[in-house]
Amino acid sequence: MTTRSKSKAAPASKSSTTTTATAPPTPRDGPPRLLLSLRSLHGPTLATRDRMLEIITRYREPESLAVTLAKAVTVPVDGVLTCATPMLRAALAELETSVPLVVVVPALSDYERQELGPGLETAIATSRSRTRGTARMGVDGTDALRPAWLGPGDFVRRMPVLMASEIAGLERRSVRGIVLDAWFTDLALAAGNQKFFESFARHVQGGGMQAGFETRNLGTLLARLREWSLRPDFVVGPLNPSGLLMKPSPEELLAEVKRSEIPVIARDLCAGGVDSLDAAAAYARQRGAWGLAPDLSEVDDAAAELRELLKTEV
Amino acid sequence: MNADVETASLAGDAPNSAAPLRSVRVGVVGLGRAGVIHAGVLAAIPNVELVGLADSRPAVRREVRGIGFKAPMFDRLPALLAKAQPEALVIAAPLEDRAALVREALEARIPVLAERPFAASLAEAEALTMLARGNDTPFACNHGLLYHPVFAEVRHILSAEPLGLPRRVRASSYRSRVFDASRQAAVASEGAAGGVLAHDALDALFFLIECFGMPREARATVLRLFGTLEDEAHVMMTLPSGTEVGLDASWSVPGYASPATVIECECENGRLLASDDAVELDVVEERLGFRAGHTRLGLADLPQRARFDLNGEAAYLMDSGFLAWVAGGEPAPHRAERSLRAQRVLEALYTSAKQGGAPVALPVTP
């Protein structure tokens, strides 16, 4: 096993395997080792259409999602990788316990994603319309409502506005990290926008949170970040035994994961249901993934399967 | 793929996915969603230099600049041609402007990859194709389904003919996109000849013609739910063999955020069922290396050759295939001459729909 991740500098982990009836386990410090991903509920997924219909039916009510979140907290996962959707907010409102969140920005439904224009302004407008609803509930969304006259469309200047709007109304201490959605990450990557990657990480870290980038081009992103000498807290991307979505090629991606000093959180572990979660997790860890982000669509009994992954963590 | 990974493709390689063998200077005209996707993948294709971007809308240019693209930006095609001197263009402008831009580029002998349909009328499409042929200039049209890993496999399986002659083909192209009149007006380009068939189902139509050949006759009935253009269509095409190929298309079906295509083909030696997730084969008797019984190939079993993913595999493979052609390689499978066949069928379908679904004869072409 060649988990170079162990040698990487990261804050010491706290032991958090014990739970009490009154307080949920404390998530470990440092880049997350285990996240429960809700991305299939609101993002592109490799799950088959049949599986997706099953998942959507299962999580139609916020109460169902709340139960799964509560179970994930008891595992304990280091966070839940999710967009701040109205559904998530409703599920969190059902819970008395705090759920550590790694928030993917912006929150886009699959329908919105398919029609999304080239820049940020549509996403900001969509987010603001949600924020206005939050503000009516008495939550401060002031940062998100700043005027757009300065630098419209500029990723560097406008992303903070989008981020503020997205996390408005969430319990601040529950937000452990902010991750940029793969569509925006990959656009900026394609454009070679080094300044944006720098400013995003700086802005998020300045707010006391961890900064991450979700990508569908993991090998390419790691190579560029290395070239630019940038080190966000982590990146999230596809890593699976089938090699599915491993760009630019599985060999190049694996070489970059080994070479990179940036913690990689593996997603799309089961390659759309082809690979088993335990085998995929072992594969990802052996090839240098720092952490795992199994998706709701990749688990049947979230608590049991996540606990098993935690047990097998080296 | 890595050492642990073997793909199980039954029938071979995806169509022309090679990168250009020499350096090619490329410009993109029209910077909406499609244009930006092209710009993004072009930046990742080896031997491609993105030399200019053009859009007449200042706000759009500002947004694209905001993403971080550093290529020079122009408000009009002539300025891009004069200053950036591209060797090839991707034209993703709105339909009402598309044909004129394609003509301008082809007249300057600049190879073009255009969004589909590349012209609003068949006459215009034929004229542009003739112009490209006369100028000996590569001209291709965006047909992503041909490069989708599952459908690329389907095409190869069907061309290998392990299933024998098709007896019955049914296909569908569904998307949740139009649910009121204002949405229909927003989605359908100004001057568009049609609705869901011209905008969403043309790719499936092109794919069916690539797989099964040009029909000798076509007919269609349509439903207009939210405006003057068709929101749903029921298409039947008759092949020279007499086999009927059906296509149901709708952009007003709930539950399909992403475009979804399904093809079901019953043949003399078995059956094929393909969707965006997988292709399933039921072969009766072993033939041409295809074993008898049931085989399912999902995305993870099939080759994924794109080196950069922005909205799927297809954009990268389509652009690189076109630019490989520009650089002296084989003509791209999505060349305009082949797309023209789908435009001919499309026009026949609209004629049929106007006549209440009466069959319309088509010239038999290879």
Those of residues 35-54 in A touching chain B at CB distance below 8 A are: 44, 46, 48-49, 53
Task: Give the residue-averaged pLDDT of B34-38.
Answer: 96
Give the model's confidence band at A146: pLDDT under 50 very low, under 70 low, under 90 confident, else very high: low
Task: Indicate which of B29, B299, B305 best probes the interface with A, i.e. most A CBs within 10 Å of its own CB.
Answer: B299
Q: How far is B178 from chain A (nearest CA, A)?
A: 11
Of residues A119, A156, A217, nearest to B308 (C-beta): A217
pLDDT at residue A190, as a whole number: 96
Residue A188 to residue A313: CA distance in whole angstroms:
33
- As a whole number of angstroms, the longest Cα–Cα distance in chain A is 53
B325 Cβ neighbours under 8 A, 6+ residues apart = B16, B111, B138, B140, B331, B332, B335
A26 has a pLDDT exceeding 70: no
Q: Which residue of A has its CA nearest to B262?
A: A49
A147 has a pLDDT exceeding 60: no
Phi-psi region of A47 (alpha: psi -120 to 50; beta: other; left: phi over 0): beta
Q: How many other C-beta atoms are found inside a 10 Å radius of the C-beta of residue B320?
A: 29
Q: How far is A299 from chain B (nearest CA, A)?
A: 18
Cα dist from A49 to A100, B62, B153, whole Å:
29, 37, 19
Of residues B41, B68, B300, nearest to A271 (C-beta): B300
Secondary element (H or E) of residue A291: strand A291-292
Q: Chains A and B: how many Cβ contacts under 8 Å?
A: 150
**Residues listed for chain A:** 314
Lowest mean pLDDT among A98-112, A199-213, A270-284, B180-194: B180-194
Q: How far is B309 from chain A (nearest CA, A)?
A: 6
Q: Cβ A247–B68 below 8 Å, yes or no?
A: no
Give the model's confidence band at B8: pLDDT under 50 very low, under 70 low, under 90 confident, else very high: low
Residue B345 to residue B235: CA distance in whole angstroms:
10
Residue B183 near residue B177, CB atoms below 8 Å: yes
Match 């380009």 to its residue by tokens.
B189
Lowest mean pLDDT among A54-58, B7-11, B311-315: B7-11
Lowest mean pLDDT among A43-57, A202-216, A223-237, A244-258: A43-57
B194 has a pLDDT exceeding 80: yes
How does DSSP classify residue B147? Answer: G
Which residues in chain B touch residue A237, judged by CB atoms under 8 angstroms apart?
none
Those of residues 69-108 in A touching chain B at CB distance below 8 A are: none
A114 touches B: beta carbon within 8 Å: yes
pLDDT digits (tens, 9 = 90+) for B111-129: 999 999 999 899 999 999 9
φ, ψ of residue B243 in degrees (nearest 5): -65, 140
Q: Which residue of A has its CA nearest to B69?
A: A191
pLDDT at residue B340, as a whole number: 96
Q: Which residue of B has its CA nearest to A272?
A: B300
Give the model's confidence band at B12: pLDDT under 50 very low, under 70 low, under 90 confident, else very high: very low
Q: Is B329 helix (H, G, I), strand (E, B) or coil?
A: coil
Residue B167 to residue B264: CA distance in whole angstroms:
11
pLDDT at residue B265, as a whole number: 97
Which residues in chain B touch residue A191, judged by CB atoms under 8 angstroms apart?
39-40, 43, 67-70
Q: Cβ B33–A115 below 8 Å, yes or no?
A: yes
B241 has a pLDDT exceeding 90: yes
A16 has a pLDDT exceeding 70: no
Q: Cβ B300–A240 below 8 Å, yes or no?
A: yes
pLDDT at residue A4, as a whole number: 37
pLDDT digits (tens, 9 = 90+) for B128-162: 999 999 999 999 999 999 999 999 999 999 998 88
B183 touches A: beta carbon within 8 Å: no
A39 has a pLDDT exceeding 70: yes
Residue B216 to residue B238: CA distance in whole angstroms:
6
Task: Indicate which of A247, A252, A258, A267 best probes the interface with B, i.e. most B CBs within 10 Å of its own CB.
Answer: A247
Residue B40 to residue B251: CA distance in whole angstroms:
27
Task: Give the residue-averaged pLDDT of A38-63.
Answer: 88
Provide the residue type at A238 as one letter: P
What sign does the dihedral B7-B12-B16-B21 (CA atoms) show?
A: positive
On average, the pLDDT of chain B sits at 92
Residue A75 near residue A19, CB atoms below 8 Å: no
B1 touches A: beta carbon within 8 Å: yes
pLDDT at residue A118, as a whole number: 76
Q: What is the dihedral of CA A83, A89, A91, A95, to 10 degrees?
A: 120
A12 has a pLDDT exceeding 90: no
pLDDT at residue B45, as a whole number: 94
pLDDT digits (tens, 9 = 90+) for A247-301: 999 999 999 999 999 999 999 999 988 899 999 999 999 999 999 999 999 999 9
Q: Cβ B309–A120 below 8 Å, yes or no?
A: no
> Which segments within chain B are labelled E, that is strand?
24-29, 48-54, 73-74, 88-91, 112-114, 139-141, 166-174, 217-223, 232-238, 244-250, 260-267, 270-274, 278-283, 293-298, 360-361
Q: Which of B100, B108, B58 is nearest to B81 (CA)?
A: B108
φ, ψ of residue A36 in degrees (nearest 5): -95, 120
Q: Which of B17, B24, B79, B28 is nearest to B47 (CA)?
A: B24
Those of residues 8-37 in B touching chain A at CB distance below 8 A are: 31-33, 35-36
Task: Indicate which of B62, B67, B174 best probes the interface with A, i.e. most A CBs within 10 Å of its own CB.
Answer: B67
A163 has a pLDDT exceeding 60: yes
Residue A293 to residue A281: CA distance in whole angstroms:
9
φ, ψ of residue B256 in degrees (nearest 5): -125, 75
* % of chain B surpassing 90 pLDDT: 82
Task: Give the residue-averaged pLDDT of B230-242.
Answer: 96
Residue A254 to residue A283: CA distance in whole angstroms:
11
Residue A205 to residue A202: CA distance in whole angstroms:
5
Residue B257 to residue B255: CA distance in whole angstroms:
6
Of residues B32, B44, B306, nearest to A190 (C-beta): B44
Of residues A48, A117, A217, nearest to B32 (C-beta): A117
On average, the pLDDT of chain A sits at 85
Q: Cβ A272–B63 below 8 Å, yes or no?
A: no
Residue B74 near residue B82, CB atoms below 8 Å: no
Residue B198 to residue A230: CA distance in whole angstroms:
45
pLDDT at residue B255, as a whole number: 86
Q: What is the dihedral of CA A41, A47, A50, A56, to 10 degrees?
A: -10
Q: Which residue of B has its CA nearest to A195?
A: B68
A21 has a pLDDT exceeding 50: no
Enter the tokens of residue B314.
Answer: 């297809």
User: Angle, to 10 degrees, between the axis of helix B149-160 and the axis of helix B202-212?
Assistant: 20
Rounded to two decimals, the ipTM of the complex is 0.91
pLDDT digits (tens, 9 = 90+) for A79-96: 999 999 999 999 999 998
Residue A62 near residue A87, CB atoms below 8 Å: yes
Q: Which of B259, B262, B263 is nearest to B175 (CA)?
A: B259
A249 Cβ neighbours under 8 A, 6+ residues apart = A219, B1, B307
B7 has a pLDDT exceeding 60: no
A132 has a pLDDT exceeding 80: no
Match 């207009």 to its residue by tokens.
B224
pLDDT at residue A148, as a whole number: 54
Task: Indicate which of B5, B33, B180, B313 best probes the interface with A, i.e. most A CBs within 10 Å of its own CB.
Answer: B5
Cα dist from B43 to A207, A228, B228, B307, B310, whole Å:
33, 17, 40, 11, 11
pLDDT digits (tens, 9 = 90+) for B291-308: 899 999 999 999 999 999
pLDDT at residue B97, as a whole number: 93
pLDDT at residue A9, as a whole number: 43
pLDDT at residue A259, as a whole number: 96
How far does Cα A189 stand from its chain's mean position?
Answer: 18
Task: Give the residue-averaged pLDDT of B272-288.
Answer: 94
Q: How far is B67 from chain A (nearest CA, A)?
A: 6
pLDDT at residue B11, as a whole number: 43
**B11 or B205, which is more confident:** B205
pLDDT at residue B190, as a whole number: 64
Residue A14 to residue A120: CA distance in whole angstroms:
38
Q: What is the dihedral of CA A297, A299, A301, A307, to 10 degrees?
A: -140
Residue A48 near residue A40, CB atoms below 8 Å: no
Those of residues 243-282 in B touching chain A at CB distance below 8 A are: 255, 257-258, 260, 275-278
Which residues in chain A touch residue B8, judged by CB atoms under 8 angstroms apart?
none
φ, ψ of residue A209 in degrees (nearest 5): -115, 165
Task: Give the residue-averaged pLDDT of B177-198.
Answer: 84
A191 touches B: beta carbon within 8 Å: yes
User: Angle, to 10 degrees, between the axis of helix A62-74 and the axis of helix A86-93?
Assistant: 70
A150 touches B: beta carbon within 8 Å: no
A137 has a pLDDT exceeding 50: no
Which residues in chain A touch residue B68, judged by CB atoms under 8 angstroms apart?
155, 188, 191-193, 195-196
pLDDT at residue A44, as a whole number: 76
Residue B53 to residue A134: CA distance in whole angstroms:
39
A251 touches B: beta carbon within 8 Å: yes
